[in-house]
Amino acid sequence: RHSICSPIFYRYELLQKQLFQLEEAEGGIDLFTRSYRIFGVQRRPDNSLFFKEWAPAAEALFLTGDFNGWDKFSHPYSKTEFGKWELILPPKYDKSPAVDHNTKLKVVVHTKEGQRLYRISPWAKYVTREEKSVIYDWIHWDPPQPYIQIHPRPKKPTSLRIYEAHVGIASPEGKIASYTNFTINVLPRIKDLGYNCIQLMAIMEHAYYASFGYQITSFFAASSRYGTPDELKQMIDVAHSMGILVLLDVVHSHASKNTEDGLNRFDGSDSCFFHSPPRGEHSQWGSRLFNYSSWEVLRFLLSNLRWWMEEYCFDGFRFDGITSMLYHHHGIGTVFTGDYSEYFGLQVDEDSVVYLMLANHILHTFYPDCITVAEDVSGMPAVCRGVQEGGLGFDYRLAMAIPDKWIQILKELKDEDWDIGNIVYTLTNRRYGEKCIAYAESHDQALVGDKTLAFWLMDKEMYTNMSFLSPMTPIIDRGLQLHKMIRLLTHGLGGEGYLNFMGNEFGHPEWLDFPREGNNHSYHYARRQFNLVDMDHLRYCQLYAFDRDMNRTEDKYGWLAAPPAFVSAKHEEDKVIVFDRANVLFIFNFHHIKSFQDYRVAVELPGKYKIKLDSDEFQYGGHGRLDHNTEFFTEAQPFNGRSNSMRVNILTSHF
């Protein structure tokens, strides 16, 4: 016990020390973590512009751009303490700012070796790329009439139902869709589907589209591929007006290795924001790793979180790649079995651990309703416990073993070989007192090389046999039924929140692949075919309807917010799973041919039960075999660990 507790106390001490130093040295944490109001470029009340950068290894810094005809020497920054540089541009004679809105800028960095480097400010709020150019430009963004968000953040829901989305692929067309398209075309769908939260990926600017938004080049810039910062603000505002929260998929675990439009070698050195190599390089991702023990890196990253909260009114974050941060080995070639020795010891990167504690502490202090989600495959204990307990302070973690299990089953097992006990184990195996987001598939499972659950289930027949106008084939029948059952089982049993990746709610076929050299820069798979669900003669709308009603049923009964389910049956031979949660009884028959009459199922609460959600309903592509007017009365006969039981007919899901 001692061996587990002492590192947790140690972490807490490190955090306290760090908080104390921040409070002492920089006029308090609030100011320190809002450094985006000091660095980069600021317009002052008199319309002078104040520029500030941290470039410790630089010999000299100049500002150049449209405003001075790209003169490389006319506007030097002056050096201040701790490797910082400042420059003030007085207003023009007409009192307007010296740099116009929507014009280009660059920082020119002179190195000790005599190089002259053109850089984008790490704090740039907007960067764009001209069609023929490969390199992004820093654009001075200071619109005369900025969009003002008017809708307050919705109340934090007790049941989190997350719609994971990517703006650029959110249309059926083979091109990049915009923030405005998303606002007009996708938000109403998300609302109708009953999701109360959107998790937005690929927002922080990434020069390489095919990185799926995970190789960030400009941390403070909302990707200009989809439109302007104001259009993103409007999108979030409209989501809020619908009662939907928006989480940002934030990537603080690493950064793109680009130099001209990324953070790498900003001041000419190979450290600056990052550890110097080899520690500062991720061997598999080919990207740079932050030095979380550096004061200026803490300023940059913590201010980045507050920037997205304050400027765009996000409601929280999904922190990407936590496992890579937590361990010096980054999880590469490591298998986690659950042994405590794997989570504590010299392999743990305490700097990162303290950074994550600090980030969660600051977010939850300034925004008590802020939601943070950790993407950690290792299963480190206490990731979702409060920092005051020595935890990392996240609200939720992604239950990453669940989607892998479903894919493995669909790839490898015949229906009669499904291991019911193992499925239930995977769905319920989570740390006591730490909340999980369950999901059957996220964007990860849809990436090229893999394919969506629907496509695993129905494959090529999705192209030819999804029409109502032709009889249901056995493959389509099985696929439709299992698609719904897998999702409902995951929803009911797998966690305290649920996540769906855009399009999979209606059984999106195929996979995701971004335009890149290897596919001749094709957008064919970088889109979501919402048109399929809108075609009345195709069966996609039935899966959509089930997903919608699954969420609406949850909204009514709140099982995600209830304590974990009580599993009363996991019958290996019958392939039956029965559990209750929030006084809702869930019954699944995964048997490929057998139906059961008068099958006894256990319930805790005595009384009358009725069918509320039935995957066999016609409207969901089922066979309509159950009578929803039936009332089920419990008998005071204890069964399978519950005080009462009753008899039900449970039909095989498919023929």
Ligand X SMILES: *[C@@H]1O[C@H](CO)[C@@H](O)[C@H](O)[C@H]1NC(C)=O
Residues that bind ligand X (CB under 6 A): 171, 173, 175, 177, 181, 184-185, 191, 194, 196, 243, 271, 275-276, 279, 291, 293-294, 464-465, 470-471, 473, 519-520, 551-552, 555
- For the CB of residue 462, give the shortest distance to ligand X in the complex, in Å: 10
- For the CB of residue 219, give the shortest distance to ligand X in the complex, in Å: 18
Phi, psi of 197, deg, nearest 5: -155, 140
| 59 belongs to the catalytic site | no
Helical pair 401-412 and 420-428, crossing angle rounded to 10 deg: 160
- For the CB of residue 619, give the shortest distance to ligand X in the complex, in Å: 15
C-beta of residue 617 within 8 angstroms of C-beta of residue 624: yes
**Of 135, 111, 105, nearest to 123 (Cα)?**
105
C-beta of residue 497 within 8 angstroms of C-beta of residue 161: yes
Nearest to ligand X of 44, 155 (CB atom): 155
Instruction: Give alpha helix (H) positions in 94-144.
Output: none
Nearest to ligand X of 367, 530 (CB atom): 530
Nearest to ligand X of 148, 469 (CB atom): 469
Rounded to 10 degrees, what is the CA torsion of 187, 252, 328, 287?
90
C-beta of residue 357 within 8 angstroms of C-beta of residue 392: yes
- For the CB of residue 201, give the shortest distance to ligand X in the complex, in Å: 17
| 477 belongs to the catalytic site | no
Nearest to ligand X of 409, 532 (CB atom): 532
CB count in 10 Å sphere of residue 188 = 12
Distance CA 79, CA 146 (A): 33
Burial class (CB in 10 A: 0-12, 13-18, 19+), 523: middle
C-beta of residue 402 within 8 angstroms of C-beta of residue 440: yes
Distance CA 39, CA 189 (A): 39
C-beta of residue 604 within 8 angstroms of C-beta of residue 581: no
**Of 534, 473, 464, nearest to 506 (Cα)?**
534
In the chain, the amino acid numbered 81 is: E
Distance CA 252, CA 362 (A): 15
Selected catalytic residue, list 375, 441, 477, 547: 375
Give the HSE-up count for residue 308: Cα atoms under 13 Å, Cβ half-sphere.
Answer: 28
Q: In the complex, which residue's CB is closest to ligand X?
A: 171
Rounded to 10 degrees, what is the CA torsion of 534, 540, 545, 546?
-170
CB count in 10 Å sphere of residue 449 = 6
- For the CB of residue 266, give the shortest distance to ligand X in the complex, in Å: 14
- For the CB of residue 111, give the shortest distance to ligand X in the complex, in Å: 17
- For the CB of residue 372, give the shortest distance to ligand X in the complex, in Å: 20
Nearest to ligand X of 97, 154 (CB atom): 154
Nearest to ligand X of 381, 558 (CB atom): 558
Nearest to ligand X of 76, 172 (CB atom): 172
- For the CB of residue 461, give the shortest distance to ligand X in the complex, in Å: 6
Is residue 598 within a helix (H) or strand (E), and if so which, with residue range? Answer: strand 596-603
C-beta of residue 204 within 8 angstroms of C-beta of residue 216: yes
Nearest to ligand X of 47, 293 (CB atom): 293
Selected catalytic residue, list 281, 315, 320, 349: 320
Distance CA 361, CA 15 (A): 9
Nearest to ligand X of 415, 461 (CB atom): 461
C-beta of residue 582 within 8 angstroms of C-beta of residue 558: yes
- For the CB of residue 328, give the shortest distance to ligand X in the complex, in Å: 12
Is residue 580 within a helix (H) or strand (E), and if so which, with residue range? Answer: strand 576-581
C-beta of residue 26 within 8 angstroms of C-beta of residue 18: no
- What residues are labeled active site? 320, 375
